[in-house]
Amino acid sequence: MLPAHARLTRRPEFASTIRRGRRAGRSRLVVHLDLTRPGGVPEHASPRAGFVVSKAVGNAVVRHRVSRRLRHLVADRLTALPAGAALVVRALPPAGDASSAELAADLDSALRAAQRPRRPRPAAADGPR
């Protein structure tokens, strides 16, 4: 289970992570990973995570099941993230029918992709249009 100090709880924290973080999507979930430390976050702060599971995933029972599975999976992986990192995991509708193993595979793959360094974009040949 995620301890209270490791959870994102406020709307501005979610919004900042989604806006500034690196996004990586898979078939059952999307992760937003912000490795930058906003003002006021100490360098030694532990990584924090939050979850978004909308009604599109299923009824309340299904949504809570998906949330519990994701919390359990993220708790095991949170220590591998750098100090001060913020992670938002958004469940997509197929997550409602997914097993824990399928969610784990998608989460691992998305976290690897979000941590991969960005490749520079090639410059446009003839300038802006």
> pLDDT tens across 46-88, in order?
899 999 999 999 999 999 999 999 999 999 999 899 888 999 9
- Write the pLDDT tens digit of every residue in 37-55: 655 556 567 899 999 999 9
Prediction pTM value: 0.84
- The helix/strand/coil state of 127 is coil
CATH topology of domain 4-38+45-115: Ribosomal Protein S5; domain 2 (3.30.230)
What is residue 50's predicted lDDT score, i.e. its pLDDT? 95
Q: How many CA atoms lie less than 13 Å away from 20 in the CB half-sphere?
A: 14
Where b means 16+ CB within 10 Å and e means fewer, 28-55 reads bbbbbbbbeeeeeeeeeeebbbbbbbee
How far is the C-alpha of 44 from the C-alpha of 10, rounded, in Å? 21
The residue extents of the domains of the chain are 4-38+45-115
